[in-house]
Chains A and B, each alone.
Chain A
Amino acid sequence: MTAAGAVASLLLADSRFPAGTYAHSLGLEQAVSEGLDIDSVAPFMSARLRLVAQPDAALSVAARRAAVSGADGDAILAELDDEHGARCPSPVLRDSARRLGSQLLRSAATAWPCGTIDRYRSDSRSTPRPVALGVVGAVAGLSDLEVAMVALYDDAATVACAALKLLGLDPARTTRWLADLAPRIGAMAVEVADDMRPVAQQPPPAAVAIELAASRHADRSERFFVS
């Protein structure tokens, strides 16, 4: 870990980084419309961390490891794209991940101009956000641990930010939820970064309820959020 890498990780985790995440609630909008109340948002964030964000972070770390070796890692990145597709049975969520990845890569290609991002942008058909984040993390100088931290934190923070718009809340309260989760996010990030097994041997996302709800959300004609 370097100080410059730590600063770059702040940049990537900053909601002002233009990657289009503000338009996503990561399932919260549908959950709220189906009865989830204010007191259940923090548990929702927590469940996402365990069931979705941690497996996604493992993909990001694997992508970082592949991308730091430049062109030699391109074939592995293609495998990780396929791995994401295999681990994400919901076509709605696959499409959402593709869009978020594409948006992240678009801004990152300007922020950190380099062949690695350009090649992945042109070669990848699916640009899932978890893989894209690993590629960008490699180029921006993040360590495995920092990539895992950004991946996990961003998931929870995106939900918290959407909660403000969906539920009418004190913004300090949603910040408290994130602060309360910080030790857990840190511990999970260490666990993800220390896991040297190939992604295919690690547990996949297992949030069937969120996957099914994503389809119901996509079918709605009235919604604020893309996902």
Chain B
Amino acid sequence: MSAELKRALRIGVGGPVGCGKSSLIAALCGELSGELRLGVVTNDIYTTEDAEFLRSTGVLASDRIVAVQTGCCPHTAIRDDITVNLDACEELERHQGPLDLVLVESGGDNLTAVFSPALADVQIFVIDVAGGDDIPRKGGPGIARADLLVINKTDLAPYVGSDVKRMLYDAAQRRGALPVHALSLVSAPHAGPVADWIREQLRAYVAAGGHLHSSASGAPGHHHGHAHTH
């Protein structure tokens, strides 16, 4: 990777509690750590379970994983007052860097939580089929504007009465041309499609000299996935 970039690409991973953010990040680290210098910042709610889980998988050296406390305000920490996370990202790069990619995992939150573009260059919003197949229809900024929407745990759909096709259809209605991946870490333990999307983002980030335009930045309802340029 080119040396003149100011800092690593930062990708936010958000979504409700229990949707599988930590497992997805573990899978991505396993898939990408051979080719990229990776760091992870977790925003744990109360325990350091997310960070510990990730350390226990052994996919990353434990000092590449940093946990920050968010004082019961997981939402604030990724959107309204991101200073705690910005300091954590920069410290991680200063001590472990240079890095190519930092994944910032939000503390599980509700459907209205999105990352500030000053913290995450692009963001992935994760939901799962067990949370109810009406979630894409309910919308919210994460569903509508995240750069990538992941509908996780599709292997559970038959057991919880969720219609994945309908979820994909509703998501497309909300998102225009922005990408959606239906994912099961049981059948795709390396999260291949998401890893490929990340590789693509990183190529674009490097090609633009350390810039990336997020669809989550700017006025709601203005999709950037379709064919026009700014």
State the CA gap A106–B83 with chains docked (Å): 7
Interface residues of A in 185-227 (CB under 8 A from B): 221-226
Residues of B within 8 A of A70 (CB): none
Interface contact B48-A18, CB-CB below 8 Å: no
Residues of A within 8 A of B80 (CB): 16, 18
Residues of A within 8 A of B71 (CB): 22-25, 162, 165, 224-226
Give how many A residues have a beta carbon under 8 Å from the other chain's beta carbons: 22
Interface contact A107-B46, CB-CB below 8 Å: no
Give how many B residues have a beta carbon under 8 Å from the other chain's beta carbons: 19
State the CA gap A104–B77 with chains docked (Å): 14
State the CA gap A24–B70 with chains docked (Å): 8
State the CA gap A162–B80 with chains docked (Å): 17
Residues of B within 8 A of A23 (CB): 68-71, 73, 77, 84
Q: Is A64 an interface residue (CB 8 A)?
A: no
State the CA gap A20–B84 with chains docked (Å): 6
Q: Is B86 an interface residue (CB 8 A)?
A: yes
Chain B contact residues: over half helix, strand or loop, or mixed? Answer: loop
Interface contact A225-B73, CB-CB below 8 Å: no
Residues of B within 8 A of A222 (CB): 46-48
Residues of B within 8 A of A16 (CB): 80-81
Chain A contact residues: over half helix, strand or loop, or mixed? Answer: loop
Interface residues of A in 74-130 (CB under 8 A from B): 99, 102-104, 106-107
0/1 per residue, A14-28, Cβ < 8 Å to B?
001011101111000
Residue of B nearest to A223 (CB): B69
Interface contact A224-B81, CB-CB below 8 Å: no
**What's the minimum C-beta distance from A72 to chain B, rounded to whole angstroms?**
29
Residues of B within 8 A of A225 (CB): 69, 71-72
Interface contact B86-A224, CB-CB below 8 Å: no
Q: Is B172 an interface residue (CB 8 A)?
A: no
List 29 contacting pairs A-B, 8 Å CB cutoff, sorted by A: A18-B81, A18-B82, A18-B83, A20-B81, A20-B84, A22-B70, A22-B71, A22-B73, A23-B70, A23-B73, A23-B77, A25-B71, A99-B87, A102-B87, A103-B87, A106-B87, A165-B71, A165-B72, A222-B46, A222-B47, A222-B48, A223-B46, A223-B69, A224-B69, A224-B70, A225-B69, A225-B71, A226-B69, A226-B84
Q: Across chains A and B, which 6 residue pairs bring their CB atoms closest together, nearest first? A: A103-B83, A23-B71, A18-B81, A165-B72, A20-B83, A20-B84
